[in-house]
Amino acid sequence: MKDQNDQGFLHRYFLENSSKRLHKWIHYFDIYERHFSRFRNASPVMLEIGVFGGGSLEMWREYFGAGARIVGVDINPECKKHEQDSIEVFIGNQDDPAIIQQILRKYPRIDIVLDDGSHINDQIITSFELLYERIHPKGVYMVEDTHTCYWDEYGGGLRRAGSFIEYAKNKIDEINAVHSRNALPISPFTRITDCIAVYDSVVVFEKRPQGARQAPVTEPL
C-alpha cells in the first residue's frame, strides 16, 4: 500500500501505476507536491480539466485521501466511464459557461483547479476567467503544459498577444497594481491573489485575501 504521508507519493504512484493511463512530465511531480500538499487529508474538492485515460483522477483521489472529491471535465463522452466513488466526470468544453456553471452549482466549493485540457490558449484563458474568482479564497489554480503557449497550432507563439503566457505576464502587473501609482486599477484579482509561480510548462496561482500592505521600519535605538 502506498504511504499517503510520503512526500514523493505522486511520483512513486506514477512509476508504480498499473491501473489507468497516466501521462505526465516528470518535473511536474515536485510542482504538484509543493502546491497541493497542504490539501492532503483535508477533504478537498479538485476540478481537473481534461480526463483522457482517467489515471490522474484516481491518482488525485489516492493522494488527497478520504473525503476528497475529484471532479473531471472532458469533451469526450467516453470519459464518463471513469466515474467511481468520489470521482465524477462532466462532459463538455472547458470554456463553455454552461458546463462551468453546472459544475459550480453542484460543487460550490472548489479548492483546486488543474487545467490539463485542450491546451488551446483562448480556451485556457476563458476557463481561468470563468473559474478563478469562484474557487476557494485559499485555493490553487494550476495550468500545465503551457509550452503550447509558444506553438502556433494552439494559438500561441513567442510574445504573441492572446497567448496564456502573455496573459499571465499581465497578471504579474495586476498583482502589483497597488504599487503602480494608479497606472493600473486594483482589481478583484489583485485583492484575492497571494502569488503567481511560473515553472517550465506550468503556471500556478495561489489565492489568499489581501489586506493593506505594511512596511514597518526597525532601527537601532
Domain spans in the chain, listed from the N-terminal domain onward:
44-207
Roughly how many angstroms between the first and final C-alpha of the chain, as a whole number?
59
Show which residues are catalytic: 119
Range from 134-138, 162-166, 212-216 carrying the lowest mean pLDDT: 212-216
* pLDDT of the residue at 211: 83
Dihedral of alpha carbons 197, 203, 209, 210, sign: positive
CATH code for residues 44-207:
3.40.50.150
What is the pLDDT of the chain when averaged over all its residues? 92
Q: How far apart are CA 96 and CA 130, in angstroms?
A: 9
With residues binned 3-state (H G I as helix, E B as strand, rest as coil), the percentages for the chain, rounded to 5, are 40, 20, 45
pLDDT in tens, 156-175: 999 999 999 999 999 999 99
Residue 47 carries which side chain, given as an amino acid letter? L
pLDDT in tens, 62-117: 999 999 999 999 999 999 999 999 999 999 999 999 999 999 999 999 999 999 99
* pLDDT of the residue at 13: 73
Cell numbers representing residue 117 in the block:
485540457
Burial, 220: exposed, middle or buried (Cβ in 10 Å; 0-12, 13-18, 19+)?
exposed
Cell numbers representing residue 75 in the block:
469533451
Q: How far apart are CA 92 and CA 75, in angstroms?
A: 5
Q: What is the DSSP letter of 162?
A: T
9 pLDDT band, cuts 50/70/90, is confident
- Within 10 angstroms of residue 137's Cβ, the number of other Cβ atoms is 9
